[in-house]
């Protein structure tokens, strides 16, 4: 089968590899869509570790093969995949915190990912997608799951005022999560016109240019900000902005992946008694997994979400062009997806 690999900075190629076979608890999924993530662009530019395996972790497809012990899924089921692989038996996994598994595998970084015709993953990390939802929209389950998880563990309450820093895919997913979680007002910072339009379409009340920090600070004087969702990461100074706009006693949730050391405004964190919450992917809190909540969101509003976020679609053979498009926001791109155009 065909799978993509990064063979150097800004060099993504398609190669022939052996087709995976399922273990007893696994399924093999025929990939129908895999989105290019902001994290993918980090390794694309060599600002974080280049994966030695096939990358890609925003995945949706059809179950092609089922392991002997799998009972919940059948061939032909349409599924969205979590971008991790846990052991399923350790203390963290038993508690539903499988994202903290000591044997955690990261899809597309440490285990083969979704820029391929097929992928193998434990069946417990696969979730059936609602009828009527196309695969590129279903693949958005992964970034929306990240935002749902961050919003849940941050303790968002109905009516609270939220700032989302950044309007990439995770930032826009955070708008979806905050709105569905009962936020009273959502303010967003965005850099590109398409991001501004998407944020408003998905439920943001106001959008500020990311360079207009004075405008944002003026707006937050009107009423306290209870929760800041930071989604930029990289080498940005967004944590400092978050500390300044958050009310005393408020919460900052860090969703962005920082690739360089950043200044930490500890004096203001202490003086304002801020809660700084890190957030890693998704888990099962209580009786419901974050991905199950995402499927509910997609069943209600998936068409609008997909039409707003998915801007470009490329076949696997053109993955190099897909990455160039995702990297160049001047193309109007938000979410670029890759599809294995012909299974062999």
What value does the CA radius of gyration of the chain take, rounded to a whole number of Å? 19
Which band of pLDDT confidence, cut at 50, 70 and 90, is reported for residue 341? low
**Residue among 39, 137, 325, 339 flagged as catalytic:** 39
- Strands 126-128 and 275-278, how do they pair? unpaired
Residue appearing with tokens 């961050």: 150
* Per-residue pLDDT tens over the stretch 210-260: 888 888 988 888 788 999 999 999 888 899 999 999 999 999 999 998 888
Catalytic residue among 11, 21, 42, 99: 42
Record the pTM.
Answer: 0.96
Alpha-carbon distance of 93 to 81, in angstroms, equals: 17
3-state secondary structure of 132: coil
Q: Which pLDDT tens digit goes with each residue over 125-173?
A: 999 999 999 999 999 999 999 999 999 999 999 999 999 999 999 999 9
DSSP E strands in the chain: the ranges are 2-6, 12-16, 26-35, 58-66, 78-81, 84-85, 105-106, 118-122, 126-128, 161-165, 185-190, 206-209, 225-230, 246-254, 275-278, 284-285, 288-289, 310-315, 335-339
Contact assessment for residue 152 and residue 169, using Cβ atoms and an 8 Å cutoff: no
Is 39 noted as a catalytic residue in this protein? yes
Task: Decide if 151 is catalytic.
Answer: no
Beta strand ranges found along 135-239 (DSSP E): 161-165, 185-190, 206-209, 225-230
User: What is the mean pLDDT of the segment spanning 49-55?
Assistant: 95
């Amino acid at each position: 089968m065909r799978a993509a690999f990064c063979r150097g900075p800004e060099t993504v190629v398609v190669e022939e590899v052996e087709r995976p076979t399922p273990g007893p608890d696994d399924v093999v999924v025929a990939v129908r869509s895999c989105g290019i993530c902001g994290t993918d662009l980090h390794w694309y530019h060599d600002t974080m570790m280049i994966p030695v395996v096939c990358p890609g972790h925003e995945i949706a497809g059809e179950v092609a093969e089922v392991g002997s012990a799998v009972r919940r899924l059948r061939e032909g089921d349409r599924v969205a995949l979590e971008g991790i692989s846990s052991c399923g038996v350790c203390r963290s996994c038993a508690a539903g915190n499988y994202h903290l598994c000591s044997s955690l595998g990261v899809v597309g970084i440490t285990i083969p990912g979704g820029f391929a015709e097929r992928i193998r993953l434990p069946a417990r990390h696969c979730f059936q997608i609602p009828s009527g939802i196309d695969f590129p929209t279903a693949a958005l389950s992964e970034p929306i799951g990240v935002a749902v998880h961050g919003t849940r563990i941050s303790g968002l309450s109905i009516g609270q005022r939220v700032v989302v820093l950044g309007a990439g895919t995770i930032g826009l997913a955070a708008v979806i999560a905050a709105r569905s979680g009962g936020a009273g007002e959502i303010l967003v910072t965005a850099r590109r016109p398409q991001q501004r339009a998407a944020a408003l379409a998905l439920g943001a009340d106001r959008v500020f240019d990311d360079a207009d920090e004075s405008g944002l600070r003026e707006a937050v004087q009107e009423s306290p900000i209870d929760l800041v969702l930071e989604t930029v990461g990289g080498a940005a100074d967004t944590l400092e902005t978050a500390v300044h706009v958050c009310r005393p006693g408020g919460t900052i949730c860090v969703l962005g992946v920082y690739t360089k050391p950043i200044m930490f405004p500890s004096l203001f964190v202490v003086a304002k008694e801020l809660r700084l919450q890190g957030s890693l992917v998704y888990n099962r809190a209580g009786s419901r997994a974050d991905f199950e909540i995402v499927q509910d969101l997609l069943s209600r509003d998936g068409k609008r979400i997909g039409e707003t976020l998915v801007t470009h679609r490329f076949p696997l053979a053109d993955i190099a062009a897909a990455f160039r498009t995702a990297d160049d926001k001047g193309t109007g791109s938000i979410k670029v997806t890759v599809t294995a155009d012909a299974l062999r």
